[in-house]
Amino acid sequence: MHNIPNDTILHVPLPEGQPILRVVPMPSDTNYAGDIFGGWIMSQVDMAGSIPAIRRARGRVATVAVNSFVFKQPVFVGDIVSLYAEIIKVGHTSITVDVSVYAQRGVREGGEEICIKVTEAVLTYVAIDDNRRPKVVPQE
């Protein structure tokens, strides 16, 4: 098993409800040091954040800002990565989404499964029309 400090602060439960996206990183997703490449995680976060934004916009969205992005812990090959996304603000044409990422690991190494929060991010999307121009986010 990877060296994860035996710090109870790192071990957390998954949030309530189903994740918006769940994926297992593969060896091809690693950087030169063998950890999962940060760009791969950023891509997964953008996909996860876009799902509630698309639903709220009732159509296409484009990523316009990564307001914050914090890598808290590394992600390893074989981790079960669960992404949770929640809309935190709706503007005239924009939708801001909070994304939290958790890694479950340990079982495939024969140990106890642990869950660690590995990344958190806030992204802003803009609703767009068929011509890729901003459009008003519909009322709920």
User: Residue 1's pLDDT is what?
Assistant: 46
On whether the CB atoms of residues 83 and 22 are closer than 8 A, the answer is: yes
Q: In what order do the strands lie in the sheet with 80-90?
A: 21-23, 80-90, 94-105, 114-127, 61-71
Count CB neighbours of 78 within 10 A.
Answer: 17
> Mean pLDDT, to the nearest integer, of 1-7?
51
94, amino acid identity: S
Please state the φ and ψ torsions of residue 52, each to the nearest 5 degrees: -65, -30
Is pLDDT of 112 > 70? yes
Is pLDDT of 106 > 90? no
Distance CA 96, CA 86 (A): 9
Q: Which of 48-57, 62-71, 82-91, 108-117 has the lowest mean pLDDT?
A: 108-117
